[in-house]
C-alpha cells in the first residue's frame, strides 16, 4: 500500500482510496498511476511509461495525455500547480508528492474491511447504487414519483441490480412490482409491447383484482387490449376506443395510492416511441404518486440519435429522473464473485488477476470466463471424489489467440448488430491492437482519413467498448485522432472474425502507410512495421524491419533489445526461400555477434531474453 497525501494506492486490490472512500479506476489509468507512484521524484519519460504499460505494442505518446487528464481529475490536481503529477514538456512526467510505503493492506485490519466489497442480496460491489435506490424508495414512500434509469454496458449487472432493488422495495414498502421486457424487433410490430407485458403481470399479481377493477373504470381500452376476462360478456363501447396514455397514467396513479407501485422496464434500447412516450408522461406528471419507473438500457446499443437519449437528457435537465450508470466491478468485487461462485474463500493463486484482466470487471464476462476455465479443466476440484477445493491444473489460457466460445457468443451478436460499414471500421481497428489511430484504419480501408475520424468519433460516443484516447501530430504535420478498445475481448473477437487473407492485407497496408508517414524516420517505427509485415506473412520485409529496429536499439545502447530483435529475425527468416534465407541468416548472425559483443563490452548483466513471441500478432 502506497500513501500520498489523503490517498492510498492498494496495489494488490488495484484500487485507490481517498480517506475512507474507494475510488475504482479502470485497469489502464490504474497502471499509469501505479507506475508513477512506484517511481516518485524522478523523470519518467514517455518511452519508459509506454514500455511499462504496453510492453508489446507500439503506442503513440499522446495516448498518455488522456490518462493523465483523467488521473488529474480523480486526484484533484492542477497541472499549473501540480501536487501530484508534474508534466515535463516533451519529455515525460514526474510524480512530485511524497510517497510513503504503508505495507500490505492485509497488515492493517482497517484496510481488510474496506477492501471487502459489501454483498447485498447476492449483488457484489453495488453498495452505493443500492443505498441510492433505497433513498429514492424512501422518497417514493412519501408520494414523490420516481423515474430511474440504470445504464451500462451489456452484462455489467443492470438486471441484477434492479432485481435486488425490487426485493429491497418489496421488503421496505410492500411495493407491488411488475416488469415489462422490451424485445429487439418487436417494437416495430407491437405498440406498447413492454407496457402491456407489465400490465399482464400486474393483473396476475397479488393486487391483480384491484388492478383489473381500476383499469376497467379508468382505462378500459387498455384492459380490452390485455384480453377480456372470460366471464365478461358485455362489450363496453369505451373499451373499443384507442388506448390513451393519459388514462393509463391515471389508472396507475390510482393503483399506487395505497401501496407503492414499481414498474420495471428492461432493455429500453429496444422500446418503441409509444413506450417511451408513456414513460415520459409518467415522469413529468405533477400529481404526487407512489409510482416508480425503474428502467434499464444498454448504453452500448443506444445511438446518440436514439429517442431514449433525448428523453433521458431532458428529464435529467428538469430533475425529473435519476440515472445510475454502472461501472465495471473493482478487482476486489471480482474476487468476491469468484469466491462465491466457487464457494471457497481462498482462490487458486492468480485466478482473480487473470479473470479481472480479461473480464475488465464485467460480471457477465467474469462468470463466462470462470465457466470456461472449469469446463476446459484449467480449474478442477481436488480430492478423489472431486469434492475438494478448487485448484489450478494447467496454466491459464492465452486469450490473445482465442476467445472462449461462450464469450465470443456473447460479444458477436453485439458486433453483428452494427451496420456493415461500422463493423469494417472496427475490424480494421483491431489490426492495431488496443490503441488505434484513425489514419491506420483509413489505410486498411483505403478511405479518407477525415471521414474515418468522423465515423470513429460517432462509434466512440455510442459504444461502450470504444473510447477516444487523444490525438497526435504526425510527421507530415497533420493531426490524427486515437481511439482505444476499452475491452480487449471485443478487439480479439473482431480480429478473429476476419479471414486470414483479409487480416494479412490490412496489416500490409498499415506497414506500408507507416513507412510513408515516417519516411526518413523509419527507425522510430521499425519495430511496429516489422510486427505488421510479419502478421501479413511478408517475411522478407519483416526481417529487414527487425534489423532496422535492432540497429536503432544498438544506437541507443539497448544491446540486449537489439539481440532479442535479431534473434526473432533469425527465427522468422526460416520462412524465406532457401537462397534468400542463407544470405540473410549470415548477415543477421554477424549483427547478432556484434550486439552480444556490445553487451559484454558494456558489462551489462545480460538480461534473460524475453519471450518475444507474445508480442507478435497471432494470425
Ligand X SMILES: Nc1ncnc2c1ncn2[C@@H]1O[C@H](COP(=O)(O)OP(=O)(O)OP(=O)(O)O)[C@@H](O)[C@H]1O
Residues that bind ligand X (CB under 6 A): 123-126, 152, 154-160, 267, 298, 337, 363-364, 367
* Smallest gap from residue 531 Cβ to ligand X (A): 35
| Nearest residue (beta carbon) to ligand X | 157
Q: How far apart are CA 388 and CA 391, in angstroms?
A: 9
3-state secondary structure of 258: coil
SS (H, E, C) 187-216: HHHCCCHHHHHHHHHHHHCCCHHHHHHHHH
- CB 299 to Mg ion: min, Å: 12
Identify which of residues 159 and 274 has a Cβ nearer to Mg ion in the complex: 159
Q: What is the β-pairing status of strands 21-23 and 7-10?
A: unpaired
Helix (H, G, I), strand (E, B) or coil at 139: helix
Binding mask 105-144 for Mg ion (x = CB under 5 A): ----------------------------------------
Contact call for residue 212 and Mg ion (CB under 5 A): no
Binding at 126: pick from Mg ion, ligand X, none (beta carbon under 5-8 Å per type): ligand X
Three-point CA angle 150, 154, 157, nearest 5°? 55
Quick one: 145 or 312, whose CB is closer to Mg ion? 312
Q: Rule CB under 5 A: is residue 181 a binding residue for Mg ion?
A: no
Q: CA-CA distance, 502 to 496, in Å (whole number)?
A: 11
The span of 37-45, 150-158, 225-233, 496-504 binding Mg ion (CB under 5 A) equals 150-158
Count CB neighbours of 494 within 10 A.
22
**Cell matching residue 385:** 471424489
Least Å from the CB of residue 582 to ligand X = 57
- Which C-beta is closer to ligand X: that of 134 or that of 393? 134
- How many CB atoms are closer than 10 A to CB 34? 18
159 binds Mg ion (CB under 5 A): yes
Tell me which of ligand X, Mg ion, none is bound by residue 568, counting a contact when its beta carbon lies within the kind-specific cut-off of 5 to 8 angstroms. none
Compare residues 23 and 244 and give the one whose CB is closer to ligand X.
Answer: 23
CB nearer to ligand X: pick between 364 and 598: 364
Choose from Mg ion, ligand X, none: what does 364 bind? Cβ within 5-8 Å by kind.
ligand X
**Residue 405 C-beta: closest distance to ligand X, Å:** 18
Compare residues 155 and 348 and give the one whose CB is closer to ligand X: 155
Which segment (157-165, 302-310, 473-481, 585-593) binds Mg ion by CB under 5 A? 157-165
Tell me the Cα Rg of the chain: 29
Quote the Cα angle for 380-407-359, to 5°.
75
The Cα–Cα gap between 434 and 28 comes to 11
Distance CA 55, CA 67 (A): 17
Q: Which does 187 bind (CB under 5 to 8 A by kind): Mg ion, ligand X, none?
A: none
Q: Which residue is nearest to Mg ion (CB)?
A: 159
Question: Residue 560 touches which of Mg ion, ligand X, none (CB < 5 to 8 A by kind)?
Answer: none
Could you tell me the smallest distance in angstroms from the CB atom of residue 125 to ligand X? 5
CA dist., res. 603 & res. 532, Å (int): 34
Cβ proximity to ligand X: between 345 and 611 the closer is 345
Q: What is the dihedral of CA 45, 50, 53, 57, to 10 degrees?
A: -160
239 vs 362 by CB, closer to ligand X: 362
The secondary structure of 47-59 as a DSSP string is: HHHHHHH-TTS--
Q: Least CB distance from residue 431 to ligand X, whole Å? A: 28
Asked whether the beta carbons of 334 and 355 are under 8 A apart, the reply is yes
Return the C-alpha cell found at 439.
489514419
The residues of the shown chain that bind Mg ion, judged by CB under 5 A, are 158-159
Amino acid at each position: 500500500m502506497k500513501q500520498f497525501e489523503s490517498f492510498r494506492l492498494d496495489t494488490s486490490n488495484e484500487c485507490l482510496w481517498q480517506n475512507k472512500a474507494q475510488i475504482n479506476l479502470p485497469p489502464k489509468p490504474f497502471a499509469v498511476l501505479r507506475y508513477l507512484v512506484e517511481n516518485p521524484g524522478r523523470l519518467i519519460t514517455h518511452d519508459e511509461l509506454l514500455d511499462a504499460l504496453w510492453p508489446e505494442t507500439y503506442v503513440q505518446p499522446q495516448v498518455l495525455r488522456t490518462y493523465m487528464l483523467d488521473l488529474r481529475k480523480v486526484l484533484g490536481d492542477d497541472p499549473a500547480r501540480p501536487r501530484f503529477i508534474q508534466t515535463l514538456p516533451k519529455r515525460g512526467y514526474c510524480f512530485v508528492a511524497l510517497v510513503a510505503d504503508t505495507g500490505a493492506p492485509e497488515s492493517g485490519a482497517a484496510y481488510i474491511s474496506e477492501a471487502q466489497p459489501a454483498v447485498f442480496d447476492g449483488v457484489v460491489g453495488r453498495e452505493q447504487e443500492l443505498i441510492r435506490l433505497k433513498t429514492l424508495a424512501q422518497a417514493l414512500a412519501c408520494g414523490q414519483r420516481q423515474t430511474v434509469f440504470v445504464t451500462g454496458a451489456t452484462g455489467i449487472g443492470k438486471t441484477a441490480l434492479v432485481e435486488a432493488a425490487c426485493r429491497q422495495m418489496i421488503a421496505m414498502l410492500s411495493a407491488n412490482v411488475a416488469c415489462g421486457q422490451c424485445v429487439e424487433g418487436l417494437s416495430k410490430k407491437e405498440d406498447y409491447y413492454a407496457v402491456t407485458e407489465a400490465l399482464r403481470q400486474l393483473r396476475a399479481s397479488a393486487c391483480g383484482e384491484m388492478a383489473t377493477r381500476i383499469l376497467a373504470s379508468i382505462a378500459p381500452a387498455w384492459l380490452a387490449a390485455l384480453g377480456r376476462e372470460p366471464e365478461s360478456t358485455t362489450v363496453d363501447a369505451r373499451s373499443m376506443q384507442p388506448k390513451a396514455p393519459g388514462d393509463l397514467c391515471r389508472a396507475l396513479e390510482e393503483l399506487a395510492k395505497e401501496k407503492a407501485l414499481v414498474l420495471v422496464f428492461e432493455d429500453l434500447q429496444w422500446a418503441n416511441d409509444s413506450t417511451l412516450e408513456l414513460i415520459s408522461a409518467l415522469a413529468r406528471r405533477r400529481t404526487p404518486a407512489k409510482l416508480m419507473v425503474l428502467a434499464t438500457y444498454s448504453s452500448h446499443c443506444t445511438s446518440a440519435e436514439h429517442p431514449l437519449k433525448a428523453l433521458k437528457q431532458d428529464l435529467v435537465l428538469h430533475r425529473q429522473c435519476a440515472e445510475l450508470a454502472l461501472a465495471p466491478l473493482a478487482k476486489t468485487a471480482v474476487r468476491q464473485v469468484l469466491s462465491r461462485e466457487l464457494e471457497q474463500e481462498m482462490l487458486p493463486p492468480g485466478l482473480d488477476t487473470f479473470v479481472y484482466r480479461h473480464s475488465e470487471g464485467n460480471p457477465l464476462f467474469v462468470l463466462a470466463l470462470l465457466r470456461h476455465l472449469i469446463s476446459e479443466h484449467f480449474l478442477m476440484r481436488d480430492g478423489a471424489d472431486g469434492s475438494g477445493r478448487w485448484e489450478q491444473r494447467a496454466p491459464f489460457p492465452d486469450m490473445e489467440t482465442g476467445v472462449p466460445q461462450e464469450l465470443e457468443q456473447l460479444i458477436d451478436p453485439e458486433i453483428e448488430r452494427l451496420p456493415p460499414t461500422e463493423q469494417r471500421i472496427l475490424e480494421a481497428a483491431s489490426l492495431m491492437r488496443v490503441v488505434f489511430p484513425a489514419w491506420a484504419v483509413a489505410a486498411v480501408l483505403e478511405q479518407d482519413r477525415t471521414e474515418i475520424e468522423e465515423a470513429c468519433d460517432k462509434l466512440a460516443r455510442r459504444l461502450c467498448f470504444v473510447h477516444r484516447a487523444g490525438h497526435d501530430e504526425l510527421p507530415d504535420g497533420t493531426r490524427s485522432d486515437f481511439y482505444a478498445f476499452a475491452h480487449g475481448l471485443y478487439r480479439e473477437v473482431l480480429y478473429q472474425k476476419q479471414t486470414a487473407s483479409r487480416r494479412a492485407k490490412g496489416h500490409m497496408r498499415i506497414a506500408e502507410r507507416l513507412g510513408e508517414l515516417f519516411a526518413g524516420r523509419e527507425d522510430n517505427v521499425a519495430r511496429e512495421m516489422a510486427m505488421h509485415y510479419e502478421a501479413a506473412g511478408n517475411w522478407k520485409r519483416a526481417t529487414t524491419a527487425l534489423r532496422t529496429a535492432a540497429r536503432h536499439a544498438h544506437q541507443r545502447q539497448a544491446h540486449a533489445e537489439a539481440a532479442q530483435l535479431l534473434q526473432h529475425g533469425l527465427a522468422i527468416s526460416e520462412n524465406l526461400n532457401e537462397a534468400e534465407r542463407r544470405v540473410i541468416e549470415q548477415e543477421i548472425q554477424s549483427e547478432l555477434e556484434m550486439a552480444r559483443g556490445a553487451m559484454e563490452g558494456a558489462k551489462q548483466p545480460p538480461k534473460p531474453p524475453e519471450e518475444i513471441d507474445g508480442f507478435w500478432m497471432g494470425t
